Amino acid sequence: MKQIAPVFLLLALLVSCDQTPPPDALAPLPEARQLLWHELEFYAFVHFNMNTFTDMEWGTGGESPEQFNPTELDCRQWARVCKEAGMKGIILTAKHHDGFCLWPSEFTEHSVKNSPWKDGQGDVLRELADACQEFGLKLGLYLSPWDRNHAEYGTDTYITYFRNQLTELMTNYGEVFEVWFDGANGGTGYYGGANEERRVDRKTYYDWPNTRQIVRDHQPDAVMFSDAGPGVRWVGNEAGWAGETNWSMIRRDEFYPGSPNYKDLTTGHEDGTHWVPAEVDVSIRPGWYYHQSEDHKVKSVKHLVDIYYHSIGRNASFLLNFPVDQRGLIHEKDVEQLMKMVEVISRDMETNLAMDAVVEGSSARGDSRRFDARKAVDGDPETFWTTDDELTTASLTIDFGKETTFNRFLVQEYIPLGQRVKAFSLEAWVNEAWVEIDMQTTIGNKRILRFENVSSEKLRLNILDARACPVISNIEVYHAPKLLEPPAIERDKQGHVSLESFDNGLDIYYTTDGTDPTESSTRYTETFQLKGKGEVKALAHDPETGQASAVAQQDYDICKELWQVLLPDPKLDHRGQAVIDANPRTLWRSKADQGLPQTLIVDLGEILELSGFTYLPTQQRFIDGTISHYNFYVSGDGKQWGEPVSAGEFSNIRNSPVLQTKTFESTPGRFIKFVAEREINGQGFVSIAELGVVTAGE
């Protein structure tokens, strides 16, 4: 047997004899099931139900089960995509507000058992549960308390029905990690044919203590979501961000589903009475359910990366929704953006620079090796650096041993002992002095700071204020590469072209002669003019790595500098100029009481040889007002119009509301008249984001 040197025996004895106790826990504290939930961090929401087939967000409840008929439903595809993206679970809308059930519920006929899918023998929940088990994912279930289909909604009879369905879900599909109760309750609905409005007292109607007990009895490890938890809370928005200050505690008794003080949920309460951490729920598209019209509106990689840092990076979880399409698949465009986002985050967090650094704290609890600063970088989530009880300020220094460049800082508290830190700062040693990089408030389960590149030999974390002595379990430092997305290209009404990269520190190179840009092309430093027809191509280049993005391209016709919209009553239609402001984010909408057709006349300011026009419908979430049928005229004087030079419909614009281009025989004119004859949903108003023209010639 190899003999151990006496000095090592002595050190081992000293460590084993270290009986310095940890700090007392600081209430409120997370339950065991909440700690398991905190470890998941990133998981999927799937909105797939009757609304998928009716092209709605909220169904009325009067839909027929015959309408539910996916052609290629594959829950294994959902699970495979989520697993490959590093997600830990899937929460499915088992029943949304319209009351249609994705499982063959014993208590209603409004379910898959009366649909043509699999001749009524299918069970989406069973298929998903099996797929989650196969791919090692957790299963979560969304059950809407509101039911616009059920004839007895609003009575005690419905509560029995709701609890019966909840029991089915909690007992027939294996282990469930999260049960989602929506805050939308009461309003108009089908209600068995009554077609009326029904309101309920959201605080008392569902008798939540007894209803939630069903989950507790059958799924003791499941957390329950609602505005007030009790396990997980809504973050107060659906935009994809938690507050920079984000306490895992709230004064829980002040909230209920639909609480008017919901904005407090974004930050939580420092003096919260219960541990109810925030979940950031956000869809990868504008809508929660699939709409073909949003195929071009999948969130950008930059947007998704920002959501990651504004959720997981701010002491919350990231619940990303996929609107499964009518085939029954996560759409390929959604998958593409998801995987690009995951690739960026993986690169950002590739090499932890703190692993090999020398770490020292301003103090350790009782000068104990058990709680010294090195415990914050040892990779063990159960060890931590902490101080004596009376200290609510402290600092920890990371010495890299050489000048090191970094731009990400990750820090975690040991939350089984409570959330403590109220304020902290980060400093770098630059030119023989400490220079502040950032100052923030809460940490919690995880906080990730992003900042511009800093080069330094040393980095210091300062705990500036805390509810009790700080307890830091993990610190990581990274040098993330630049986000090399193609630059954004925009031109204003006056013909000024601007280029913007999606990350700082990148160079942009561009061309206007049709060739692809390279590092030898013109470097963008300021806006430039392009008043006539032309093509702008641009790429982003990282001078540190030499890598470049894909090429972005925009084709332009003559700019709109001289254009004016001629409105019959400018006071009533003061936003009419928005249709020619070269800003696709602004919108003109006609008055609803004016009816159709609606006419807009534009003075182009000069005679042009016209061979076509363009119409950009609204790019906002809701597309009511989109024009389906039109007449288009050209005039030299704005008085004599003659026959339309183009007339008809914008084919499939309901499903694909993108830029529409119509061409016609070349015609000279100074004035154009666009007549909206029909709107896609039969509304009495129309909207236009942009009108443009196609001029003849190159």
Q: What CATH number has the domain bearing residue 55? A: 3.20.20.80
Q: Are strands 564-566 and 660-679 parallel, antiparallel or unpaired?
A: unpaired
Average pLDDT score over residue span 145-173? 98
463 and 493 both lie in a single domain: no
Say whether pLDDT at 655 is over 90: no
596 and 649 both lie in a single domain: yes
Average pLDDT score over residue span 283-303? 95
545 and 574 both lie in a single domain: no
Distance CA 555, CA 165 (A): 55
Residue 602's identity, in one-letter code, is: V
Average pLDDT score over residue span 229-241? 96
On whether the CB atoms of residues 535 and 556 are closer than 8 A, the answer is yes
Within-domain flag for 675 = yes
The neighbouring-strand residues paired with 687 are: 589
Distance CA 322, CA 89 (A): 13
What is the structure's pLDDT at 258?
A: 83
What is the structure's pLDDT at 12?
A: 43
641 and 680 both lie in a single domain: yes
Task: Please report which helix (H) or strand (E) contains residue 211, including its range.
Answer: helix 208-218
Q: How many domains does the chain have?
A: 4
On whether the CB atoms of residues 106 and 168 are closer than 8 A, the answer is yes
Torsion over CA: 303, 309, 315, 318 (sign) = positive
Distance CA 317, CA 311 (A): 6
CB atoms within 10 A of CB 404: 20
Query: Closest Cα to residue 551, out of 482, 483, 485?
Result: 485
Q: What is the pLDDT of residues 593-646, one digit of tens each?
A: 778 999 999 999 999 999 999 999 999 888 999 999 999 999 999 999 999 999
Within-domain flag for 548 = yes
Say whether pLDDT at 375 is over 80: yes
Within-domain flag for 213 = yes
Number of residues written out for the chain: 698
Query: Closest Cα to residue 99, out of 58, 67, 66, 147?
Result: 147
Say whether pLDDT at 2 is over 80: no
Q: C-alpha angle 54/101/283, rounded to 5°?
A: 60
Residue 170's identity, in one-letter code, is: M
261-270 contacts at long range (C-beta below 8 A, 24 or more positions apart): 262/227, 262/234, 262/236, 263/236, 264/236, 265/227, 265/233, 265/234, 265/235, 265/236, 266/235, 266/236, 266/237, 266/241, 266/242, 267/243, 268/233, 268/243, 270/422, 270/467
611 and 533 both lie in a single domain: no
On whether the CB atoms of residues 559 and 491 are closer than 8 A, the answer is yes
143 and 244 both lie in a single domain: yes
What is the structure's pLDDT at 11?
A: 39
Q: Indicate which CATH number applies to the domain containing 686.
A: 2.60.120.260
Q: Are strands 196-198 and 534-541 parallel, antiparallel or unpaired?
A: unpaired
Say whether pLDDT at 8 is over 80: no
Torsion over CA: 252, 257, 261, 264 (sign) = positive
221 and 120 both lie in a single domain: yes
pLDDT band per the 50, 70, 90 thresholds, residue 568: low
pLDDT band per the 50, 70, 90 thresholds, residue 573: low
Q: Which two tokens stand for residue 26?
A: 């600081």
Q: Which two tokens stand for residue 267?
A: 């930050």
237 and 166 both lie in a single domain: yes
Q: Please report, to the nearest 10 degrees, the dihedral formed by the alpha carbons of residues 433, 436, 437, 438 taken in order.
A: 160
Say whether pLDDT at 443 is over 50: yes
436 and 584 both lie in a single domain: no
Q: Are strands 42-46 and 89-95 parallel, antiparallel or unpaired?
A: parallel
Q: What is the pLDDT of residues 42-54, one digit of tens each?
A: 999 999 999 999 9
Within-domain flag for 2 = no
Q: Is 167 helix (H, G, I), strand (E, B) or coil?
A: helix
**Max alpha carbon distance in the chain (Å)?**
107
Prior bond to 23 cis, omega within 30? no
DSSP class per residue in 474-532 = EEEEE-PPP--PPPEEEE-TT-EEEEE-SSTT-EEEEESSSSPP-TTSEEP-S-EE--S
Q: What is the mean pLDDT of the chain?
A: 94
Within-domain flag for 409 = yes
Q: Which two tokens stand for residue 398?
A: 């990371």
What is the structure's pLDDT at 6?
A: 42
What is the structure's pLDDT at 593?
A: 77
Within-domain flag for 16 = no
Q: Indicate which CATH number applies to the domain containing 531.
A: 2.60.40
Domain extent at residue 436: 358-478
Within-domain flag for 3 = no
Distance CA 50, CA 83 (A): 26
Name the domain boundary from 459, 478, 497. 478
Q: Are strands 223-226 and 178-180 parallel, antiparallel or unpaired?
A: parallel
pTM: 0.92
Name the domain boundary from 508, 536, 556. 556
Q: What is the pLDDT of residues 376-419, one digit of tens each?
A: 999 999 999 999 999 999 999 999 999 999 999 999 999 999 99
pLDDT band per the 50, 70, 90 thresholds, residue 196: very high
Q: Which two tokens stand for residue 523?
A: 């470097």
Distance CA 622, CA 629 (A): 19
Distance CA 252, CA 249 (A): 8
Instruction: Tell me the HSE value of 528 on the side-chain side, using a 13 A CA sphere.
Output: 16
Average pLDDT score over residue span 275-283? 98
318 and 436 both lie in a single domain: no
Within-domain flag for 15 = no
Q: Which two tokens stand for residue 542?
A: 């990282």
What is the structure's pLDDT at 1?
A: 35
Name the domain boundary from 535, 556, 577. 556
Q: Is 386 helix (H, G, I), strand (E, B) or coil?
A: strand
On whether the CB atoms of residues 248 and 275 are closer than 8 A, the answer is yes
- Angle separating helix axes 332-348 and 75-84, nearest 10 degrees: 20
pLDDT band per the 50, 70, 90 thresholds, residue 257: confident
Q: Is 322 helix (H, G, I), strand (E, B) or coil?
A: strand
160 and 125 both lie in a single domain: yes
CB atoms within 10 A of CB 203: 13
Q: Which two tokens stand for residue 443?
A: 């940490």
Q: Is 242 helix (H, G, I), strand (E, B) or coil?
A: coil
528 and 630 both lie in a single domain: no
Say whether pLDDT at 9 is over 80: no
Say whether pLDDT at 17 is over 80: no
